[in-house]
Amino acid sequence: MSRQITDQELAWTESQPVIGNPCMTRLRVALTKSGLPPVELAMEGDGEGLRFRLRRTAGLVELDREHVLRLLISIMRRAGFAVGYSEVAVVGVDDEFVDGFSYVAPLSQLFYYGPPLVEP
């Protein structure tokens, strides 16, 4: 069940820098350095989405779903993906893995212009 995104969440998302163009290599490196090394990280179909399965290292096991989501948004924005709460979904979190999906850009951009080029 989805919920309304709060003004505080929008403000927090906008305060996270988007650095450069979307890049899968920078995303993999940033996830690994942050304690969430990718087990699976794959573009979906037409390039609009990204499916992920990440391993949780010992230091991140205590984070709940909300904190994992915030960490992912921050990491993705630093890797060039202009995403936020509307685009990133954590669908499963357990002691070992984080599973989810993200669009590669804001939904409005995908609708009007299509997906951006994502560097390998």
1 falls in which pLDDT band (50, 70, 90)? very low
80 falls in which pLDDT band (50, 70, 90)? very high
Question: Is 120 part of any domain?
Answer: no
d(CA 35, CA 60): 7
Question: Is 2 part of any domain?
Answer: no
The H or E element spanning position 64 is none
Percent of the chain topping pLDDT 70: 98
Q: Based on the structure, what is the number of domains in the chain?
A: 1
Question: In angstroms, how far is the first alpha carbon of the chain from the final one?
Answer: 33
Question: Is 119 part of any domain?
Answer: no
Question: Is 97 part of any domain?
Answer: yes
Question: Is 103 part of any domain?
Answer: yes
- Domain, as residue range, for 23: 7-113
Of the candidates 68, 75, 70, the residue with the CA atom closest to the CA atom of residue 32: 75
Question: Is 99 part of any domain?
Answer: yes
Question: Is 1 part of any domain?
Answer: no
Average pLDDT over residues 54-75: 92
Question: Is 78 part of any domain?
Answer: yes
Tokens standing for residue 31: 């996830």
